[in-house]
Chains A and B, each alone.
Chain A
């Protein structure tokens, strides 16, 4: 066809400029002309925002608020380094060097853990966010007994704040391990440190809340012992969940041994999930089947544990 779809119509450049301008201005349609693949392509490339492209909005808003709270100084490298931020930085430094999170706990130890992101907890019967999380501190170097907790100083809705935290976590986890500590001193991150219960806990906390397995490609931090054992006992059932997450180069392995001891009053369910998340962000933790007690089909895992969990739990009745 010789209808102007030929490449050489762009030879003079003016037409090319016109197409680029039109696409950039969001008015790429050619009135009356024949369908032009190049125009279509530019229009598609400049199409209006699609929802997933705006997924980081909460994180951006959180960053904005935080930057407002600690206004930038003229110095360009370290804006936002006001006294408050400095205090935070000092706190972060203390906790980071100490390696434990007690400092933050003494500062503020807010209560309720934030509800997990909705995508992370698909179990229909555990829709309540207040599931008791007993972190299995089976590893010596990861005393993650501090539950993720929301900051009381922020009155914002828990859900909104949580998605902000998730956003901050994504930024944090995107960093090199070497840079992470520094990142936490940046404006905007104090809420995350606070929520995690201290700088030393941020990584573990973030791995727990960021649902995206793709975010882990470059992590090398190891936080052994970060196991979320979600023990959930209904009725009188006693349920122990132990999750043991060893991970290398991988975030996102919640040892999510979920044992629902649902059954008769004395049913005791021990769910043990041993998560060995080695670079594979998939797997099911299973606290499978109560031994002895009546199984109503609830002693099962949901796919929360991104680490490979083996062996599946065994229960003692």
Chain B
């Protein structure tokens, strides 16, 4: 996977469109999911900005782990976005509600195929920000602890600890749900109630302090 990526990066740097497309398709889902945990419904816009910058700065990419480079850009864009949002005096709440509505409708529409992923991400997003970020970078983007640490500006050990805590918390949450439901919740069948989505939004700002 990594070798394949490096190959594509080299080709994309020399102008190969197909290689760039491959990079996009490989990275975008993970980036988008990670960004959703950071900025909620604005993740797609932030992802667009991210790809704009990636394509612009690709020539200055000096090697190393491309995914880490890309996800660092995404994270910076997300932090910018959150700062912008905070500066803006009033977030138009009704519009936000509308957006949510649209998002929910979308989700329902493609529920058949994707609710499992949405639910899983929503559950992860309920974790404390550091833990959520660590879990997402490790499990969804696929970075190792050292690389994730570089992205987050923290030591690998700290990332590892945060990810472990996050997993433990998730396991407890799942266990709790299982007990509540009286049966094993099948995440992949979308058995998780949509509650965590709202949870995610309410707790969204909490993602910010994770900025190291």
Contact = CB atoms under 8 A, between A and B. Distances in A.
A50 B1 CA distance: 19
Interface in A231-265: 249-250
B134 to A, nearest CB: 9
A64 B17 CA distance: 8
Contacts of B58: 64, 67, 72
A79 B133 CA distance: 30
A27 B91 CA distance: 41
A40 interface: yes
Given A46-B140, A60-B55, A218-B92, A213 B174 contact: no
Interface stretch (A16-24, A114-122, A221-229, A268-276): A16-24
Given A5-B175, A57-B25, A38 B52 contact: no
B95 A16 contact: no
A137 B15 CA distance: 43
A210 to B, nearest CB: 11
A53 B32 contact: yes
B185 interface: yes
B24 to A, nearest CB: 5
A42 B139 CA distance: 7
Contacts of A49: 25, 28-29
Contacts of A25: 1, 142
A215 interface: yes
A76 B62 CA distance: 13
B170 A38 contact: yes
B29 to A, nearest CB: 4
Contacts of B170: 38, 41
Interface stretch (A91-99, A103-111, A166-174, A201-209): A166-174
Main secondary structure of the interface of B (DSSP, over half): helix
A176 B30 CA distance: 26
A16 B45 contact: no
B3 interface: no
Nearest to B116: A44
Contacts of A54: 24-25, 28-29
B48 A174 contact: yes
A9 to B, nearest CB: 8
A25 B142 CA distance: 6
B103 interface: yes
A13 interface: yes
Interface string B175-198: 100100000111110000000000
A72 B56 contact: yes
Contacts of A68: 15
Main secondary structure of the interface of A (DSSP, over half): helix
Interface in A184-220: 186-188, 212-218
B33 interface: yes
Interface in B85-112: 88, 92, 94-96, 98-99, 102-103, 106, 110
Contact of B59 (A11, A57, A71, A250): A71
Interface in B31-87: 32-33, 41-42, 44-49, 51-52, 54-60, 84
Contacts of B142: 24-26, 46
A24 B139 contact: yes
B171 A7 contact: yes
A52 interface: yes
Contacts of A216: 95
Nearest to A53: B29
Interface string B8-27: 00001001010011001100
Given A37-B175, A45-B139, A49-B25, 9 more contacts: A7-B172, A19-B167, A38-B170, A42-B139, A54-B24, A64-B55, A72-B57, A217-B92, A280-B98
Interface of A: 5-7, 10-11, 13, 16-17, 19-21, 23-26, 35, 37-38, 40-50, 52-57, 59-61, 63-68, 71-72, 74, 76, 79-80, 167, 170-171, 174, 176, 186-188, 212-218, 249-250, 279-281
9 contacts: A16-B168, A40-B187, A41-B174, A61-B20, A63-B55, A64-B55, A79-B60, A167-B48, A214-B99
